[in-house]
Chains A and B, each alone.
Chain A
Amino acid sequence: QSVLTQPPSASGTPGQRVTISCSGSSSNIGSNTVNWYQQLPGTAPKLLISGNNQRPSGVPDRFSGSKSGTSASLAISGLQSEDEADYYCAAWDDSLNGVVFGGGTMLTVL
């Protein structure tokens, strides 16, 4: 059971906009920033969004993050086939004194 809650799956067609939610609590998302990771099949994870909404260099602006209260969201616009991957949210948890993850969302591009 993951500390952060994500839907196990999401899907969309090419060109569509998809959002993935991440729900936490006051000790994690409510008081710290959220990072998002993308894991393509068979590869190591990659940082997609840091500090709620900052894209590292090289990440397309189709990817955006937001946070409100104890929840966060990852939005992917102009969906492409190469976006098919697992997506994880993560945040520092002040009570557990460590990083907590969501269980991951498998995104399928139909």
Chain B
Amino acid sequence: EVQLVESGGDLVQPGRSLRLSCTASGFSFGDYTMGWFRQAPGKGLEWVSFIRSNTYGGTTENAASVKGRFTISRDDSKSIAYLQMNSLKTEDTAVYYCTRVVGAPMAADYWGQGTLVTVSS
């Protein structure tokens, strides 16, 4: 059974940093693109970042809203994906979801339960 478990969400002040982790199980982690999405309170879904498998160079894509501030990475030996979030803003407040991503459609076929990040002074 595919499982994705996020951790690391917290209340942080604007300008500070936070690292989210996503521990995966139930599939061959290194073979898949992994992604992060977020959902602000009462709002819709927003894509944040992707990291491709090392087969495809481990390249990353980031949403314009987080480019230069957020960095996605992966440790295939531990089946963990990370999202390093720097220079946090109040508008980054959201539930952050880790996902497995498949195919050219870049479809997120499995989602974690989410972890809440609150940016407030």
Interface, chain A (partner B; CB < 8 A): 2, 32-35, 37, 39, 44-47, 50-51, 56, 86, 88, 90, 92, 96-104
Contact = CB atoms under 8 A, between A and B. Distances in A.
Interface of B: 37, 44-47, 61-64, 97, 102-114
B97 A90 contact: no
A2 B105 CA distance: 19
Nearest to A105: B44
B99 to A, nearest CB: 9
A98 B63 CA distance: 6
Given A47-B107, A51-B105, A96-B64, A90 B44 contact: no
B44 to A, nearest CB: 4
User: Which 6 A-B residue pairs are closest in the complex by CB-CB distance?
Assistant: A99-B47, A50-B107, A44-B111, A104-B44, A33-B105, A35-B107
Nearest to A51: B105
B111 to A, nearest CB: 4
Interface of A is mostly: strand
B97 A101 contact: no
Contacts of B112: 44
B105 A44 contact: no
Contact of A50 (B63, B102, B113): B102
Contacts of A56: 109
A103 B45 CA distance: 8
Contacts of A35: 105-108
Given A33-B104, A33-B105, A56-B109, A44 B45 contact: no
21 contacts: A2-B44, A33-B104, A34-B105, A35-B105, A35-B106, A35-B107, A39-B45, A44-B111, A45-B97, A45-B108, A46-B111, A47-B107, A50-B103, A50-B109, A86-B44, A90-B45, A90-B47, A98-B63, A99-B47, A104-B44, A104-B45
A66 to B, nearest CB: 14
A88 B112 CA distance: 17
B94 to A, nearest CB: 13
Contact of A101 (B44, B62, B114): B44
B44 A92 contact: no
